[in-house]
Every structure is written in C-alpha cells, then in structure tokens.
Amino acid sequence: MGQSSDEALLAGIALGDAAAARDLVRRHQQRVFGLAVAILGDHHAAEDAAQEAFVRAWRRAESFDPRRGSVVTWLLAITRNTAIDALRVRRALPLDPQDLLFSRFASGLGPEDRALAGSDVDRIWMALLDLPAIQRDALLLTAYFGMTASEVAAARAIPLGTAKTRIRDGLRKLRDRLHDEETMT
C-alpha cells in the first residue's frame, strides 16, 4: 500500500478500507498537523483540529474531484477550514502571519520538504518572499486565518479599500509569479 497513489488510498477509504486510511494518515499527518499548528498556535488545539480534518476528509472521500486539485491540497483545505472553525470559537489570533515565514526558515527543510524541494514548497516560498510585505501579510491573514477584508482592515488599522487591494493584488501577483516560474521550467 505504501506505493499507492493518494487518489487510490482515498478511493479505498470511501469503501471503508482501514489500511488505506492508515497509509493516508501516515503520509500526510505531519503536513496536516503542521498547518493546524500554524493556524492555531497551540499543539493541543491543533491535535483536535487535525484529527477532525482527517475525519471530515474520510466522510467526504467520495466527493473528492481530482480535476480540482491534488489530494494533499484538498486535505489541507479541509484542515484550514477545520482550524479556522476552532479559531473562531477561541476568538483569538495566536500568531502574526509573518511568524509562519520565520518558523519556516528557522526550522529548515524537513525530509518531506526535500522530496518537494525544487517544486511546490520552495517555489511558493520564493514567490511569497517576492511580494511586498504588506501584501504578503494581508494575503496570509486571509488564506491561512480566514480573515475577511474587513477583519484585516481592523487588525491592521487600515481602510477597508486598502485591505481589499492588498489581498487582491497579493494573490494576483503570487499567481503571476508562480505561472512565470512554471513557464520557465
């Protein structure tokens, strides 16, 4: 089973295959838990959220559509939503989004990162570093913490229109940068 694709494991989970569930958890638990920690800033709450994310993924395994993206990005989107739900209950933003950036480089690349090095993870971080800091900050607040433009405006004491512009311009620039790199490689 170790060689099975994520899609095959997910299909097995939809059919109630416990071994497929175990393999998918082993393959992605560090990434799921890491994202939950990044959003919640608390290992205990992150453990709850990460577990809930896997359960939600299991319940919705049949609805996964490979045309819309990979299993890991789908799983991480579920993790983000689950962690944001928990965050709203706590009503506290534990981290400055720039901390994500610093912890990233402080921890260096792990084995799983190295497997992706030169592809997704490095490219995303290089593209993020290319953004103006104020756009990166607004984009991370929205993409990771689910904050609306109004909430970003309040958190950063800036006009609503400015917050919207930073978020929208940040995402478009990131898309353009990633697209340029794909074109070059």
Partner 1 sequence: MSVDCDPYRDQLPDLALGVAASDERDALLAHVTGCAHCASELEQLARVVDTLLLAAPPSEPPAGFESGVLRSFSPATTRRPRWRVLAAAAAFVLALGLAAGLARSREQVPSEGVTAGAPPASSEPIVVLTGALLDPEGRAVGQVVAHDDPSWLTVALDPSAPRGSYVVTCDYEAGDSFTAGSLTITDAGPAVWNATVPIALKDLRRVRVVSSRGGPNLEAAIHPL
Residues 28-47 within binding reach of partner 1 (CB under 8 A): 29-31, 33-35, 37-39, 43, 45, 47
Closer CB to partner 1, 6 or 45, in the complex: 45
Q: How far is the CB of 3 from partner 1 (least distance, A)?
A: 19
Give me the torsion for CA of 173, 126, 113, 49, rounded to 10°.
-50
Cβ count near 7 (within 10 Å): 12
Task: Quote the CA–CA distance of 99 and 38 in Å, as a whole number.
Answer: 9
Cβ–Cβ under 8 Å, residues 94 and 40: yes
Q: How far is the CB of 151 from partner 1 (least distance, A)?
A: 9
Q: Which residues of 47-62 are buried (b: 16+ CB within 10 A; e: fewer)?
A: eebbbbbbeebeeebe
- Restricting to residues 50-69, which ones interact with partner 1 according to CB under 8 A? 50-60, 63, 69
Task: Quote the CA–CA distance of 174 and 130 in Å, as a whole number.
Answer: 8
- Restricting to residues 72-131, which ones interact with partner 1 according to CB under 8 A? 72-74, 76-82, 84-86, 89-90, 100, 103-104, 107, 110, 112-113, 116, 120-121, 124-125, 128
Q: How far is the CB of 29 from partner 1 (least distance, A)?
A: 5
- Our finding on whether 153 is near partner 1 (CB under 8 A) is no
Q: How far is the CB of 97 from partner 1 (least distance, A)?
A: 11
